[in-house]
Copies of this chain bind each other. A is one copy, B any other.
Amino acid sequence: MDEEIHTGETCNARINSVKDALYVLSGKWKLPLIIALMNGPLRFKEIQRSLTDITPKMLSKELRELELNDLIERKVFHTVPVTITYELTSYNKTLLPIIKSLGDWGKKHRKRLVEERRSDPIKV
């Protein structure tokens, strides 16, 4: 019963928790979409332009799934014509550590790959 020793049990629990997180954030566009909304609310078409190349079908689907998990909120303004915006919920902020750690690691990993290739052909 130490502290963070990995017994088989805690290991499996950890795997399952990670799987849960990955499930909610699965798909090609969910995290990019969330990051795009970190600047503030956007309308459907604006998100499309922001995430170049996402089709309306995909965007609609990803938005719906994120809404179901309380990670974004859809707001309807009864202007003429109607205006609809999407914004991050406060619960979404709990994802920040994930986004930060992924972003940090991705950045460093890319740098690492570049340096590796640069030193490769020289062969000291």
Asked if A36 is an interface residue, CB under 8 A from chain B, the answer is: yes
Number of copies: 2
A contact residues, range = 35 or more
Cβ of A6 within 8 Å of any chain B Cβ, yes or no, is yes
Kindly provide the distance from the CB of A95 to the nearest chain B CB, expressed in whole angstroms: 7
Where chain A touches its partner, the secondary structure class is helix
Say whether A31 contacts B18, CB under 8 Å.
yes
Interface string of A99-121 (1 = CB under 8 A from B): 11111111111100000000000
Whether the Cβ atoms of A102 and B109 lie closer than 8 Å is: no
A82 close to B (CB within 8 Å): no
Q: Can you identify 28 A-B contacts, CB atoms within 8 angstroms?
A: A6-B38, A6-B39, A8-B39, A11-B35, A11-B36, A14-B35, A15-B32, A17-B103, A17-B107, A17-B110, A18-B32, A18-B99, A18-B106, A19-B31, A19-B32, A20-B106, A20-B107, A20-B109, A21-B102, A21-B106, A22-B31, A22-B102, A24-B109, A69-B109, A95-B105, A97-B97, A98-B98, A98-B102
Given A14-B99, A21-B102, A98-B105: 8 more A-B contacts, CB < 8 Å: A11-B38, A14-B35, A15-B32, A15-B36, A17-B102, A17-B104, A18-B103, A95-B105
